[in-house]
Amino acid sequence: MSADFQPAFWAAKRAVMTAAEEAYSRHGVRAGQQFILHQLWKEDGLTPGELARRLELSVPTVTRTATRMENAGILRREPHPTDARLVRLRLTERGWELKDIIAKEAATLSERALATLDSAEREQFVRFLHEVRVNLSR
């Protein structure tokens, strides 16, 4: 029944959020910071605006999260060599150290969340999530 969709979704949302927070915060990384980290591990020195585009987040969300990560010693802000409007976010050594640690936590978390789903169901679930996002963005 689609009447159950919203309660089920919100309950799952809170559960995933809480579990992610618990898994990552042990290492000084908060739940919302993992996606920024993933992008910077792939390409260090991205700007807040570019990160916001890639992650489909608002720019203020990225800048404030970046400030917290800066305070936590995970990254630092550097001026752009040619364009003074831009800010480059560059990982510190600590930021790079976290790569394997967070990847492992993420894998564990996903495995725990999807423990009762077989391979085909997991693929289908991810597809459903993607379709919901696409459906709502139109």
Residues found near DNA in the complex (CB under 7 A): 10, 14, 18, 30-33, 47-50, 52, 56-61, 63-68, 77, 83-87
As measured in angstroms, the least distance from the Cβ of 121 to DNA is 25
Nearest to 36 by CA among 65, 77, 71, 8: 65
As measured in angstroms, the least distance from the Cβ of 111 to a second copy is 7
**Binding to a second copy in span 30-89, by CB under 8 A:** 34-35, 56-57
19 binds a second copy (CB under 8 A): yes
Per-residue binding string, a second copy, 100-119, x by CB under 8 A, is: ------xx-xxxxxxxxx--
Nearest to 39 by CA among 25, 26, 49: 49
Structure tokens at 30: 């908060």
Residue 58 DSSP one-character state: -
As measured in angstroms, the least distance from the Cβ of 83 to a second copy is 29
Q: Which residues contact 66 (CB under 8 A, 6 or more apart)?
A: 36, 48, 75, 77, 89
Answer with the entry of DNA, a second copy, none that 108 interacts with (C-beta below 5 to 8 A by kind). none
Answer with the entry of DNA, a second copy, none that 117 interacts with (C-beta below 5 to 8 A by kind). a second copy
Cα dihedral 55, 61, 62, 68 sign: negative
Cα dihedral 67, 37, 99, 101 sign: positive
Q: Which residues in this chain contact a second copy in the complex, by CB under 8 A? A: 1-16, 18-20, 34-35, 56-57, 106-107, 109-117, 121-126, 128-137
